[in-house]
Amino acid sequence: MAAVRQASEDEQLGLIRAHPELGVSSVPLSEASDAEQTGAGLKTLTDDEFKRFAALNAAYRETFGFPFIICVRLHSKAEIFAAFATRLQNDAAAERAQALAEIGEITRLRVADLLGDERWPG
């Protein structure tokens, strides 16, 4: 993550923009992303929840120019909805920093999984 923090703003935005939108992505997900979104209940959204996710994703992308990123493994569906609402109030710099922090947490947990490191449970 030190390298990511030292990267240019354009490089950071490229990393952030490479992530799929939560809950409504038509892009194939990695095995890890699919499992994480399934675990958070994002693969079994009701029609109303799906519409709400689509609207929140659109508002977020329009506001910040990149997808909403959160470490879904650490949050429930309700917490993710609440985070959308809260984070839409942030400015672009704060949201870019938050997105990078979330990517760091996702990465940390996935590396811990690969290493079987129980000090950092998922």
pLDDT, tens only, 65-122: 999 999 999 999 999 999 999 999 999 999 999 999 999 999 999 888 888 866 555 4
Q: Which residues are catalytic?
A: 19
| CA distance linking residue 58 with residue 114, whole number of Å | 33
Q: What is the DSSP letter of 116?
A: T
The full set of domains in the chain, from first to last, is: 2-115 (1.10.3330.10)
| CA distance linking residue 101 with residue 99, whole number of Å | 5
Question: pTM for the full model?
Answer: 0.85
Is residue 55 within 8 A of residue 91, CB to CB? The reply is: no
